[in-house]
Structure 1
Amino acid sequence: MQENEFYSLVQEAGHLESMDRAQAASEAVLATLGETLTGGEAEDVAAQLPDELARILEDADHDGAGYDRGAFVDRVGEHLRDTDVEPDDAEQFAEAVTDAVAAALTDGEIQNLKSQLDDGLHPLFEDVTVDPDQL
């Protein structure tokens, strides 16, 4: 998957008006995801993403934050505060970005990723509405 394809998926799924807003939402969610993973797992996920997106994930503080769903969404909202994307819609953007992430990852990597996440975050990577075969 290419960067522009990833952002297009996020733009459509997140009902965002522009590619710039899709990029801002993606950066916020990936930075938050990176915070909740260990460095090794973040690197494994990053290896299957386009380069620019991989760097966001790799550059996050990998402290294994263990966010539950509410804390994850709140943290995404915090990352969005200095952008032109509405932080109140952080839940919608988290779902859109994680759908695009799940479409980019192999099934095995999705399982590895979920093993490091709070159970409340697992649904973000399940029932993905993006069909990777259409990319």
Structure 2
Amino acid sequence: MDHDTFIGTVQQRADLASRGAADSATRATLTTLGERITENEAEDIAAQLPMEVGRYLTDVEEHAQQFDADEFAERVAEQTEADDVEDAPTATARSVVGVAVEATGTGLIQDVVSQLPQDEGYGDLLATADQSA
């Protein structure tokens, strides 16, 4: 999947008004995911994504931070400039993750899901990854 297809698919699935909003949502979601997972996992997933998108997973200051799904959604909302993303960051993040599942194959995303505690609310955020397995 190339960059344009990735962003276009995110825009459609998340029902965002523009490609800019979709790019912002993708950046916010994947950057936050990169902060939450290990550096090795981020690099593995990034290698399977378009370069322009994959770098969001790896270009973070600190990997493997411990925060729950509510904090994940808050970070996504803070990093986006589009009002429609800020209103529904979990649904938007779920759309981005769903497109990443398709672009990478479910094996890599399953590794990510296994790192995130389901009792902290990540089950809803990553429901797309579970359904694709």
What TM-score bracket applies, with the shorter chain setting the length? 0.7 to 0.9
RMSD of aligned Cα (Å): 1.5
Any conservation in 2 of the 1:38–1:62 contact (CA below 8 Å)? no
Write out aligned runs for 1:8-19 (5 A).
Answer: 8-19=8-19
1:59 pairs with 2:63 = no
Q: CA deviation at 1:118?
A: 2.4
Identity %: 36
Quote the residue 1:43 is aligned against.
43
Deviation at 1:69, TM superposition (A): 1.6
Partner of 1:110: 109
CA–CA separation in structure 1 for the residues paired with 2:106 and 2:82: 33
Maintained 8 Å contact 2:110/2:130: no
Q: Is the CA contact 1:36–1:63 (under 8 Å) kept in the aligned structure 2?
A: yes
Aligned pairs for 1:21-36 (under 5 A) are: 21-36=21-36
Aligned residues: 126
User: Shift in Å at residue 67 of structure 1?
Assistant: 2.6
Question: More helix per residue: 1 or 2?
Answer: 2
Specify the code of the residue in structure 2 equivalent to 1:54.
G
1:121 corresponding residue in structure 2:
122
- Normalized against structure 1, the TM-score is what? 0.85
SS of equivalent to 2:131: coil
Residue-by-residue CA offset, 1:13-50 (whole Å, 9 max, x unaligned) = 11001111100110000110000011111000101100
Unpaired segments ≥5 residues, structure 2: none
Gaps of 5+ in 1: 129-135
Secondary structure in 1 matching 2:70: helix
